Amino acid sequence: MTDAAFVFDATEQTFDTEVMQASLSTPVLVDFWATWCAPCKALGPILEKVVASYTGKLKLAKVDTDKEMQLAGAFGIRSLPTVVLVKDGQMVDGFMGALPEADVRAFVEKHLGKSAAADAIEAKADSATALETPQQTIARLREEIAANADKPELQLDLALALVRAGDADAAQAQLDALPPNLASDAKAKRASAQLDLSRALTGAPDPAALRARLQHDAADHTARDLLGVHLLLGDEPAQGLDEFLILLRTARDWNEGRAKKRLIAAFNLLDDDEIVGTYRRKMSSLLF
């Protein structure tokens, strides 16, 4: 199947069959656009590139709003471009405006996970850096940045390398210097969350000591919070999230809503969509 096979024009007559029903097996991005819309022209190739990287696991339906005014009206389109993700016969999310490629990928990955192409690129990068020490990776990236000023994504890679090396101050400075489109990237959010959580453990007691404190006083919110961070950053992330949920249930407003902030940071940090989805629902049930 060619890349063009993943992209098609949708009309009022074909929308139900080619988008809504088709989304029961393959998610569909719907791009509401117009020929006179400059941001639409900028976003279109980005959408096609992202969709192509999913090699048939995602499709793109293009809706020309000048020709399909009733269809645009049915979706309440007020601004162009507007992009809607249809999955399992339902509209699950959307965004307005021309986003950079990194943000479009983050939007899609939130619902579908990473594309095969993205996984392959990351796997290749991981294998290339597996034999490097953290300091070698940092040195290499700094050299690449100096030679490729037109590739700001290397700055994000450097920030992540600094996080892995444990150089919190340098990593934070690098994250703060990222351009806006990269600062909102999922990787940047993950690095920022890991930095914040790691800082919380500076000078903190070990998990055994924190558990002993909780056995003595179950209302020791500080001990429960720090134990949750230890578990989250260690090998028991679900147990860490459980500690934050207990804190949210019993002391929602403690330390300016610390439990909620910890959970949100954890969701940005974790790669496991199943765990994140489960605990998002648990958090929502306690908050609303």
pLDDT of the residue at 116? 57
Give the residue, 268 or 14, on which the prediction is more confident: 14
pLDDT of the residue at 115? 63
Amino acid at 119: D
Strands 7-9 and 59-64: parallel
Q: How many CB atoms lie within 10 A of CB 253?
A: 10
Active centre residues (catalytic)? 37, 40
pLDDT of the residue at 2? 40
Note whether 3-119 and 132-200 share their fold: no
Q: Which fold has domain 132-200?
A: 1.25.40
3-class SS of residue 172: helix
Strands 28-33 and 82-87: antiparallel
pLDDT of the residue at 259? 94
Q: Which sequence spans correspond to the domains of the chain? A: 3-119, 132-200, 207-287
Residue 203 has pLDDT above 50, yes or no: yes
Tokens of 68: 């399909």
CATH of 3-119, one of 3.40.30.10, 3.40.1710.10, 1.10.510.10, 3.30.70.260: 3.40.30.10
Question: Rounded to two decimals, what is the model's pTM?
Answer: 0.51
Residues 90-111: pLDDT tens digits?
A: 888 999 999 888 889 989 988 8
Q: Which fold has domain 207-287?
A: 1.25.40
Residue 138 has pLDDT above 80, yes or no: yes
Tokens of 155: 């700055």
